[in-house]
Amino acid sequence: MVPVDYYIGLSAILFTIGALGVLIRRNSVVIFMSVELMLNAANLVFVAFARTYEAVSGQIFVFFVMTVAAAEVAVGLALIVTIFHTKQSIDVDQMNTMKW
């Protein structure tokens, strides 16, 4: 097996790219996708450590993270569609007020 350090390094790089996407991009759908990338980086470390310690529990946690991500995407995309209907834009800079 490739040493687990390499997987942690790769995961750190992917997580940083996701965090940068959240900070830099202004399109809320792309920000959402960056969050998915960060979750995915965490999943990779889970599976790498599950393989290192030969424990299936790590894989079960990845399964739960996927479920939570699916629920989050369903609600989040519904929110984005609703915001688009009221503001005609999904640019996060336009969402600077609580009133509509």
Partner 1 sequence: MTTQLILFFSLATLAVGTALGMLFSANAVHATLFLIMNFGIVAVFYLLLNAPFIALAQVTVYAGAIMVLFLFVIMLLGAERTGRTPSSWWLQPVALSLGVILLLEALYLVISQRGLLPVGGEVASTYGDPFSVGETLFRQYVLPFEVTSILLLVAMIGAIVLSKSRT
Q: Which positions from 32 through 91 interact with partner 1, judged by CB under 8 A? A: 32-34, 36-37, 40, 43-44, 47-48, 50-54, 56-57, 59-60, 62-64, 66-75, 77-82, 84, 89-91
Q: Which of 29, 27, 7 is nearest to 79 (CA)?
A: 29
CB 43 to partner 1: min, Å: 8
Member of 35, 42, 87, 92 binding partner 1 (CB under 8 A): 92
Interface with partner 1 includes 95 (CB under 8 A)? no
Q: What is the distance between the alpha carbons of residues 37 and 63, in angstroms, rounded to a whole number?
A: 16
Q: Are 64 and 70 in contact (CB under 8 A)?
A: no
The two structure tokens encoding residue 11: 């995961």
